[in-house]
Amino acid sequence: MNAAFDFADMDDLASAPVAAPGPVTRESVAAQALNLADCKKCRGAGRVTFGYASVRTGTCYACKGTGKVRANYEKQREAHRKGEATKAANRERAEAAWILENPGRWSWMCAAGDRGFRFADEMRAAVRQYGHLTERQAAAVDRCVLRDLQRAEARDAERAATFVQVGAASANGVIDALVRATETGKTPPKIRTAVAVFSLAKPGSANEGCVYVKRGETYLGKITPAGVFQPSRECTPEARAAVAAVVGNALEAAVEYGKTTGVCSCCGRELTDPVSVAAGIGPVCAQRFFR
């Protein structure tokens, strides 16, 4: 407890005369000098009731039963409360200002902190507590931001190195066939091949205009509208080459698939008509997908 609120020296004031009206005596002057006021806790009674289930009465701890406290005690308490509130408000203002001035550092601290990186979380807490970072802390954050940026760039470069230019719109290519089938049919079109299954991203999705490449449940990547195949992590170099080889000539891949499996590449139905079996594709699908 703060020394200013220590009432140990008031123990023997319980019976002291308190600003009594009347002749000015040595005692009354002494009492006035102490500047006593009614205790707010007990409203000057010196005793308080407490408890809920069983109400009890006891000596007021704030005035130690005297009913009087130094007048400046309440003032000091109030000033202390106000001081704390002002400090908190200043801290919040400083924090908001720092965040505004350090958007890069702050967004890194939040992202890395949320990922569970303890240092970032500690720096975020420091800004909340002190309204700023020290120069050394800021420099340490900057090193982390730079390191993460370099790592991300290296990752992007590594990924970009696996991209394959497969061409955007060759006639009877995968993109061409899927777009054509979308315009003429109701069901979202698919092309099944020995290598992978190709389908269009849903309209309105983030990848609208892209072709998804899947083998079974494995996502092998996507082909952008600009004709770039972006393989996923799961796509092996062999699969990458095989996909790239098929994209330019979907008709050939579809026919080969139909002849090998006896199932139409486009609608997934079994080919039963001898003409279709021989062609490797149903006549309706052939017209819907290919030129």
Question: Which CB, 60 or 243, lies closer to Zn ion?
Answer: 60
Q: For residue 236, how many other CB atoms are within 10 A of its CB? A: 10
**Smallest distance, Å, CB 255 to Zn ion?**
12
The span of 119-127, 189-197, 209-217, 274-282 binding Zn ion (CB under 5 A) equals 274-282
- Phi and psi torsions of 154, nearest 5°: -65, -40
247 binds Zn ion (CB under 5 A): no
Q: Would the CA dihedral through 23, 26, 30, 33 be positive or negative? A: positive
Which ranges of the chain does DSSP label H, i.e. alpha helix?
26-34, 71-101, 103-114, 118-130, 135-160, 174-184, 237-247, 250-261, 274-279, 283-289
**Smallest distance, Å, CB 270 to Zn ion?**
10
Question: Which CB, 44 or 209, lies closer to Zn ion?
Answer: 44
Task: Tell which one of 16, 34, 41, 162 touches Zn ion (CB under 5 A).
Answer: 41
200 binds Zn ion (CB under 5 A): no
The span of 19-27, 98-106, 133-141, 258-266 binding Zn ion (CB under 5 A) equals 258-266
Scanning residues 50 to 89, which ones bind Zn ion (CB under 5 A)? 60, 62-63
DSSP secondary structure letter of residue 167: -
The pair of three-digit structure tokens given for residue 238, joined into one six-digit string: 């062999």
Nearest alpha carbon to residue 62 among 25, 97, 10, 19 = 10
Question: Which CB, 102 or 265, lies closer to Zn ion?
Answer: 265
- Interface with Zn ion by CB under 5 A: which residues? 39, 41-42, 60, 62-63, 264, 266-267, 282, 285
